[in-house]
Amino acid sequence: MTSDSVEPGTVRPGGRTARVRSAVLRAAGDALAERGLAGLDLADVARRAEVGRTTVYRRWGTPANLVADLLTDMAEQSLPHTDTGSLTDDLRANARLVRRTLADARQGALFKAVIAAATCDAQAAAALRRFYETRVSEWEPCVRRAVERGELPEGTDTHEVIRAASAPLYYRLLTTGEPLDEAAADRAADAAVAAARAGVFVTTGR
């Protein structure tokens, strides 16, 4: 397989290549946050990143490829999960982290743009799934330990509990436009804990 055929974001570059990738992805994130997917232009990204157009076109080729690599990079930069010994505190920490990200002017706009991109491009959709699979998997151990402590019933789908803690926040971001405050994050986490304790997320075969 040649370097030109490698899927963007699947190889960790080093040295100058890493610096170029970092600059381009930062510029792409800025452009997405400002203009959305429709306004993402590779030549504009190259100008913002202060790198040659040829470099950007050769390495990424299309805006969708650039979005996919941006999501890969975001997954790589994910913060480690919290382990407080309390499921409620752990999920509140998770929901508050999501809230801070989505409430940030740049990051919130960026997530809206990449979610929009995923609705119309298969590669962007696959990258978005990988991003969230990474994030959910990082936090899943706190739910698994809650099951082991007897805090949750056996057979609880640990991944679904993590997803439930942040889903209401994305709903606010994308639909209602209601404030993304810390109280909303805590309510989302507490609701996920209550549902998990009631056995809502118990599945067979896990």
pTM score above 0.85:
no
The C-alpha atoms of residue 59 and residue 12 are separated, in whole angstroms, by: 13
Query: Distance between the two ends of the chain, CA-based, in angstroms?
Result: 37
**Are 112 and 180 in contact, with CB atoms under 8 Å apart?**
no
When pLDDT is cut at 50, 70 and 90, the band that residue 14 belongs to is low
143-182 tens-digit pLDDT = 999 999 999 999 999 999 999 999 999 999 999 888 899 9
The C-alpha atoms of residue 68 and residue 16 are separated, in whole angstroms, by: 21
Structure-token match 């699979």, residue found: 133
**Higher per-residue confidence, 84 vs 206:** 84
Calculate Rg over the CA atoms of the chain: 19
Amino acid 41 reads: D
Q: What mean pLDDT, rounded, does the chain reach?
A: 86
HSE-up of residue 188 (Cα within 13 Å, Cβ side): 27
Q: What was the pLDDT predicted at 52?
A: 92
CA angle 67, 68, 73 (to 5 degrees): 95
When pLDDT is cut at 50, 70 and 90, the band that residue 204 belongs to is low
- Burial class for 147, CB neighbours closer than 10 Å (0-12, 13-18, 19+): middle
